[in-house]
């Protein structure tokens, strides 16, 4: 599984070039698109298509060829295969037949955008493309309302404005980063609040967008230890929550650290034992 450039053709590893030259066959998401890269590096390996509409059928053919001793590399149109791209069915079939699958890492729009977003990337949630229909998209965004990890998603140029409006309505006027045409000539990275992005001159509707939002961290509210204790006891008596779930719930309500609330919860439990 070979990662290829997401835009700039120079963003390819020496190992990827060597592998693509040495294998017996290259399976590509779009052979015409991949020819641009292969010609740039004088890679003359035979190429066959394997995309989302024929992946199941072509995967069986690829397995047969590999069982006959041929080596095959898979490349998607851009970036790392299987990351919102075809390839996972081929990997799954290979594993079922005890065929060794080797990653040849390289570019990924997810990681490229995270590296310049300015938000914490210690923990992040990658959501891929959101549902295209409005009601399903809004329901999905509602599920992210209290997500504490940095959120990253893809969106098409046709739906980007609708998605930004939904984010504003559901997740609030958070800071946001919009990355478009990463590593290409017209690369564009916009930062600001959702409202500022929406109020700015029209978002260029060209190229897929990578959208990044910081996780949800409510501002801490003044609250005494006695009040925290009352909240914990109330959650345990009224909702029968576990200690862990009660701590998480109060942390979300108050913005206080989980450790502080956990320490109080443990004292209550020890006193009641």
Question: Residue 193 is part of a domain; what is its CATH number?
Answer: 3.30.950.10
Q: In this model, does residue 218 exceed pLDDT 70?
A: no
For the segment 187-206, the average pLDDT, to the nearest whole number, is 83
The HSE-up count of residue 219 (CA atoms within 13 Å, CB side) is 2
| In a shared domain, residues 196 and 229 | no
Cα dist. 92→50, 57, 95, 100, 101 in Å?
A: 14, 13, 5, 11, 10
| In a shared domain, residues 80 and 117 | no
Whole-prediction pTM value? Answer: 0.78
| In a shared domain, residues 195 and 115 | yes
**Angle subtended by helix axes 160-171 and 134-142, to nearest 10:** 40
> Per the domain annotation, does 9 fall within a domain?
no
For the segment 184-205, the average pLDDT, to the nearest whole number, is 85
Q: In this model, does residue 254 exceed pLDDT 80?
A: no
CA 249 to chain centre: 26
| In a shared domain, residues 199 and 124 | yes
> Per the domain annotation, does 140 fall within a domain?
yes
Q: In this model, does residue 114 exceed pLDDT 70?
A: yes
Domains: count for the chain: 3
> Per the domain annotation, does 4 fall within a domain?
no
For the segment 162-181, the average pLDDT, to the nearest whole number, is 93
Given pLDDT bands bounded at 50, 70 and 90, which one contains residue 260? confident
User: Which range has the worst mean pLDDT, 100-114, 157-171, 233-247?
Assistant: 233-247
Who contacts 109 (Cβ-Cβ below 8 Å, separation ≥6)?
6, 78, 79, 154, 179, 182, 208, 210
Domain that holds residue 179: 109-213
The enclosing domain of 67 has a CATH number of 3.40.1010.10
Q: Which of 43-47, 171-175, 193-197, 250-254 has the highest mean pLDDT?
A: 43-47
Higher pLDDT, 242 or 191: 191
> Per the domain annotation, does 220 fall within a domain?
no
User: Which range has the worst mean pLDDT, 48-52, 125-129, 223-227?
Assistant: 223-227
| In a shared domain, residues 206 and 124 | yes
> Per the domain annotation, does 44 fall within a domain?
yes
> Per the domain annotation, does 206 fall within a domain?
yes
Domain stops at, among 175, 193, 213: 213
| In a shared domain, residues 160 and 229 | no
pLDDT of residue 249: 82
Q: Taking Cα atoms as reference points, which of 210, 16, 17 lies closest to residue 105?
A: 16
> Per the domain annotation, does 8 fall within a domain?
no
| In a shared domain, residues 114 and 92 | no
State the maximum Cα–Cα separation within the chain, in Å, rounded to a whole number: 74
pLDDT of residue 202: 62
> Per the domain annotation, does 102 fall within a domain?
no
| In a shared domain, residues 208 and 229 | no
| In a shared domain, residues 33 and 79 | yes
| In a shared domain, residues 120 and 205 | yes
pLDDT of residue 248: 82
């Amino acid at each position: 599984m070979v990662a290829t450039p997401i835009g700039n053709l120079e963003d390819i590893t020496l190992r990827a070039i060597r592998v693509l030259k040495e294998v017996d066959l290259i399976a590509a998401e779009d052979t015409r698109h991949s020819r641009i890269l292969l010609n740039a590096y004088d890679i003359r390996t035979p190429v066959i298509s394997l995309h989302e509409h024929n992946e199941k059928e072509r995967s069986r053919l690829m397995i047969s060829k590999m069982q006959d001793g041929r080596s095959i590399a898979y490349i998607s149109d851009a970036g790392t295969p299987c990351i919102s791209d075809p390839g996972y069915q081929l990997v799954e079939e290979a594993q079922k037949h005890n065929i060794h699958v080797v990653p040849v890492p390289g570019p990924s729009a997810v990681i490229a955008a995270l590296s310049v977003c300015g938000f914490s990337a210690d923990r992040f949630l990658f959501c891929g493309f959101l549902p295209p229909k409005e009601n399903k998209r809004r329901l999905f965004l509602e599920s992210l309302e209290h997500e504490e990890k940095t959120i990253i998603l893809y969106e098409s140029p046709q739906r980007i404005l609708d998605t930004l409006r939904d984010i504003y309505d559901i997740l609030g006027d958070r800071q946001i980063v919009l990355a478009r045409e990463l590593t290409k000539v017209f690369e564009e990275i916009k930062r600001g609040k959702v409202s500022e992005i929406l109020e700015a001159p029209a978002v260029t509707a060209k190229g897929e967008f990578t959208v990044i939002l910081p996780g949800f961290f409510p501002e801490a509210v003044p609250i005494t230890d006695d009040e925290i204790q009352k909240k914990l006891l109330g959650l345990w008596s009224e909702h029968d929550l576990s200690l862990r779930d009660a701590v998480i719930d109060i942390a979300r309500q108050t913005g206080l650290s989980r450790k502080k609330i956990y320490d109080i919860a443990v004292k209550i439990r020890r006193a009641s034992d």
